Amino acid sequence: MPGITREEVAHLARLARLELKPEELDRFAGQLYDIIGAVARVSEVADQDVPPTSHPLPLTNVMREDEVRPSLTPEQALSGAPAQEQQRFKVPQILGED
């Protein structure tokens, strides 16, 4: 069982878009280590030749006719937006200046 270091937690937090505080990194490192240590038991079955189950139902694509139907108005869709402009979600700058 590999340990989980503070640096790994920081990396996971970056991947998960969580700006963790230093004290959270320390606390989570210990807790994640304990949890992963406990759940690692599942690897007992890693070599068994059984198919994986991702879902309790046999999933198939559900299709419908491509028809125009009533839906949210732009005002409703934008009603929870932290910021909006010209019927659009206003977000912080994504692309660089140049």
Partner 1 sequence: MTDIIKLTAAETAAKIASGELTAVEVTEAHLARIEAVDEKVHAFLYVDREGALAQARAVDEKRERGEKLGPLAGVPLALKDIFTTEGVPTTVGSKILEGWIPPYDATLTKRLKAADVVILGKTNMDEFAMGSSTENSAYGPTGNPWDLTKIPGGSGGGSSAALASFQAPLAIGTDTGGSIRQPAAVTGTVGVKPTYGAVSRYGMVAFSSSLDQGGPCARTVLDAALLHEVIAGHDPMDSTSIDAPVPPVVEAARNGSVRGMRVGVVKQFRGEGYQAGVIQRFDESVELLKELGAEIVELDCPSFDLALSAYYLIAPSECSSNLARFDGLRYGLRVGDDGTHSAEEVTSLTREAGFGPEVKRRIMLGTYALSSGYYDAYYGSAQKVRTLITRDFEKAFEQVDVIVSPTTPTTAFPIGERADDPMAMYLADLCTIPTNLAGNAAMSLPCGLAPEDNLPVGLQIIAPAMKDDRLYKVGAAVEAAFVEKWGHPLIEEAPSL
Residues at the site binding partner 1, with contacts judged by CB under 8 A: 4, 8-9, 12-21, 24, 28, 31-32, 34-36, 38-46, 48, 50-57, 59, 61-62, 64, 72, 76-77, 79-83, 89, 91-94
Give strand pairing partners of 39. Answer: none
Cβ distance 82 to 91 under 8 Å? no
DSSP 32-60: HHHHHHHHGGGGGGTTS-----S-SS---
Minimum distance from residue 25 beta carbon to partner 1 (Å): 10
Minimum distance from residue 68 beta carbon to partner 1 (Å): 16
